[in-house]
Amino acid sequence: MKIYIDSSVLKNRYNKIKDNFKDIIITDKVEDSYDADGIMVYPKDVIKENIDKYPNLSWIQVFTAGYNTIDLEYLKSRNIVLCNGKDIYSIPIAEDVIAKILAFNRNIPKYLEAMKTKTWGWLNSEYELTNSTVGIVGVGSIGKEIAKRLKAFNVNIIGYRRQDKNEEFFDKIYFGNDGLNELLKLSDYVILALPLTDESYHMINLNKIRIMKKSALLINIARGEVVKQDDLIYALENHYIRGAALDVVYPEPLPQDSALWTLDNVYLSPHNSFSSPYTMDRLMEFLINNLDNYINHKNLLNIVNLGGK
């Protein structure tokens, strides 16, 4: 058995994986990988032009939670199973969401600016999370971690997912277009934590934003294209909502002439909500476990598609 691993993400930890699996061939050289049975790569590498070079391939493990650029039907036609890293990044992303909410609520960016000019003065309208309603659009591993942590603030948590299924830490689950509208209408904080699909593309547009409370915050840690960005800019300029905290935009990097850079009701971060000194440890543990599962024909973790032998 042979496995190809893109070692650029693992750096010096690549050898740790090799040391754990001395009975199989592991390579990080692309030119020596085309007879591999499995590969560990970024989603950008999972394109037909590349995968066609692997006649023996039956398993792909991507390092990321997102996989929206991958042609799942093509993999299914090749009987190739795809796994993602959805549980690796949930904890730091959940903490990042809370940081963004508190930064808005406690006027942290404005007080930091005041320090630069040595200006002493109170700012009005410092909000509380307590007794508010938080709507989480996407009840996957990230949405669940966010809900778990926000419960400590004594909030009402409602979620949106494709099917009617209750979930721990959520007080109510909505589904369907009417359900999404109800969540938007009720929520003081709307958190986008769902994958980018044909259904979620531009899910949040001007019509949806106008349903939200004027005092509501929109937090997007999903994908930039889930929000129709021009509509969001228009809504923020006209104060249809209190503000937006965006870890994802489109395109990325955000062009310097985008109005999002200068609006005072926007908090931008450069798609790094997953950043943590512990993320790589979690990724390594997961990769080793899933590779062991693959080699020993055990149940794989985080299967995305229904292909596979």
Q: What is the pLDDT of residues 163-172, one digit of tens each?
A: 888 899 999 9
Q: Is the pLDDT of residue 309 over 50?
A: no
Neighbours of 261 (CB within 10 A): 11
Q: Alpha helices of 106-175 — where are they, by DSSP H?
A: 108-116, 141-150
Confidence of residue 124 (pLDDT cuts 50, 70, 90): confident
Of all residues in the chain, the percent with pLDDT exceeding 70 is: 99
CA of 309: how far to CAs of 26, 71, 81, 260, 298, in Å?
Answer: 21, 18, 8, 46, 13
CA–CA distance, 64 with 6 (Å, rounded to integer): 13
Q: What is the pLDDT of residues 34-77, one digit of tens each?
A: 999 999 999 999 999 999 999 999 999 999 998 989 999 999 99
Exposure on the CB side of residue 53, measured as CA atoms within 13 A: 12
Residue 265 has a pLDDT of: 97
Q: Identify the sign of the CA torsion 207, 148, 94, 304.
A: negative
Of residues 15 and 306, more confidence is placed in 15
* All domains of the chain in start order, with CATH: 2-88+277-295 (3.40.50.720), 90-268 (3.40.50.720)
Q: Is the pLDDT of residue 10 over 90?
A: no
Q: What is the pLDDT of residues 148-205, one digit of tens each?
A: 999 999 999 999 998 888 899 999 999 999 999 999 999 999 999 999 999 999 999 9
Q: Is the pLDDT of residue 31 over 60?
A: yes
Catalytic residue numbers read 223, 252, 271
Q: Is the pLDDT of residue 232 over 60?
A: yes
Confidence of residue 306 (pLDDT cuts 50, 70, 90): low
CA–CA distance, 31 with 180 (Å, rounded to integer): 48
Q: What is the pLDDT of residues 257-272, one digit of tens each?
A: 999 999 999 999 999 9
CA dihedral 133, 139, 145, 150 (to 10 degrees): 0
- The stretch 203-212 carries a mean pLDDT of 98
Residues 6+ apart with CB under 8 A from 122: none
